[in-house]
A and B are shown apart, each in its own frame.
Chain A
């Protein structure tokens, strides 16, 4: 009886350790501030998602498109006439984000890459604020829908971007 009890305790402890390590892997992957991620509740422990997340590679489908996003400097080069209504570059930026969203919506294998694209877009201080807000809005909307965890670095998201993203549909 004693032996059985010891074995059961051993199995229980092993399971707990394994479970703990598995969760830690999800949090620390993608070299992201794990504290911020836990605080913002952006970590999903679903095992399918773990697989998806671990598949994030250097060969991100959408990485190259980050350079095409409109920047603050691009906006600064516009004239008053060009900015009275939404400038074309903002619409183009919205289109790029939309195309990536649409591709990943249709093909779930692209979701991790898409989420990482949205995260990098939202965190990039050089990108135009409205586009960063759209990206952040997509991150928050799609984490539960796609079950794709994308821990954000809080310090890289300004209040301005956060507030704006929360007002978007």
Chain B
């Protein structure tokens, strides 16, 4: 009986209790449930220990790695992820700290950020709070940070590396299979980690590699869920997931296909076109609009007394034909997604592979 009580107590403690801790040099806040901490630690260990044999050719240049192996890839993550906080952590009130007098780089802000309310806290799966703090701070010319373990952690660069993890990353319905510790699920979570880590990079107008609105014609048109860079968060997620999938030893056919769908979804977000129509479709569209416009012009000319509602319609049609003409012009001058400078702005310290590896080894040997 005693044993049962003790086991139950242990089990409940392992699922509910949480304590701040450091693993491989990364700070895990007490706001993260302990089972999530354990899974994330195991995910990072898996990444570090990975023997990566098959590599997507895009990975090395995209991540600017000198070598593709577990230690180098982990180092890439480590330089962008230093603190992880839980879903219940509120970046407000006493947790939010500020400091005046900080000199931010005089680079321009991304134009779209000015209209945004809360870019990086939109999802409950994972978000990059550090980049958000830096951007908001730069916008308001006040250095922002959060209080962690009675210490103020300021964001003088998006590279401060504060990620917030939500329960979505661990929910069974969002997993690849039912075994939360399976290799396939680790790959899926690590893909998300790579995505968010990339938001710690970038400068000037592409600081944080922030997402842009998906173009007209895209299924997610109008939502901030696309990017026009070839080395942004969605590209990194797709390429890293693909590389890990290629090296997966235990993934089933279903796991592989599900992960492939995630890769396809990420790659589908990388888009520079403002539409997905063909030239023939656009020409037909323009001709159709033009015929209706001609009709209305004629109608207004012959019925000037009843022309008011038609004028409005004419205005709408002219706007539509303009959109189609712009799309046609864009289609006729093809452009590819550009690789942008990933160097982060502000002050930060780049950690060597040797240092991050020794931190990881120290944690693994504990």
Contacts and interface: CB of A to CB of B under 8 A. Distances in A.
Contacts, number: 116
Given A76-B219, A102-B254, A133-B268, A97 B261 contact: yes
A80 B123 CA distance: 8
A87 B174 CA distance: 9
Contact of A91 (B211, B246, B262, B267): B262
A48 interface: no
A78 to B, nearest CB: 8
B276 A94 contact: no
A75 B219 contact: yes
Given A90-B262, A167-B267, A98 B254 contact: yes
Interface in A44-88: 72, 75-76, 78, 80-81, 83-88
Interface stretch (A5-13, A30-38, A123-131): A123-131
B356 interface: no
B265 A90 contact: yes
Given A86-B266, A93-B261, A72 B219 contact: yes
Contact of A102 (B124, B253, B262): B253
Given A84-B125, A164-B267, A94 B260 contact: yes
Contacts of A76: 219-221
Given A81-B122, A169-B245, A97 B257 contact: yes
A137 interface: yes
B264 A83 contact: no
Interface residues of A, number: 38
Contacts of A90: 261-262, 264-265
Contacts of B192: 85
Interface in B117-134: 122-127
Given A86-B265, A91-B174, A134-B260, A102 B252 contact: yes
Nearest to A82: B123
Which of B56, B173, B265, B268 has the most A CB atoms < 10 Å from its CB? B265
A78 B264 CA distance: 18
Which of B173, B256, B257 has the most A CB atoms < 10 Å from its CB? B257
Contacts of B195: 85
Contacts of B252: 98, 102
B87 interface: no
Given A98-B254, A102-B253, A169-B245, A85 B260 contact: no
A131 B219 CA distance: 12
A16 interface: no
B205 to A, nearest CB: 21
A69 B23 CA distance: 41
A121 B203 CA distance: 41
Given A98-B255, A99-B254, A134-B257, A81 B265 contact: no
Contacts of B267: 130, 164, 167-168
Contacts of A131: 261, 264
A15 interface: no
A130 B218 CA distance: 11
B242 interface: yes
A97 B254 CA distance: 8
Interface string B198-228: 0000000000000100000001110111000
B195 to A, nearest CB: 7
Contact of B257 (A85, A94, A165): A94
A105 B256 CA distance: 13
Given A128-B219, A169-B263, A95 B254 contact: yes
A97 B265 CA distance: 15
A132 to B, nearest CB: 9
Interface in A122-169: 128-131, 133-134, 137-138, 158, 160, 164-165, 167-169
Interface of B: 56, 122-127, 168, 173-174, 176, 192, 195, 211, 219-221, 223-225, 238, 242, 245-246, 252-268, 276
Interface of A: 72, 75-76, 78, 80-81, 83-88, 90-91, 93-95, 97-99, 101-102, 105, 128-131, 133-134, 137-138, 158, 160, 164-165, 167-169
Given A80-B223, A88-B173, 7 more contacts: A86-B265, A91-B174, A91-B176, A95-B258, A128-B219, A138-B257, A168-B267
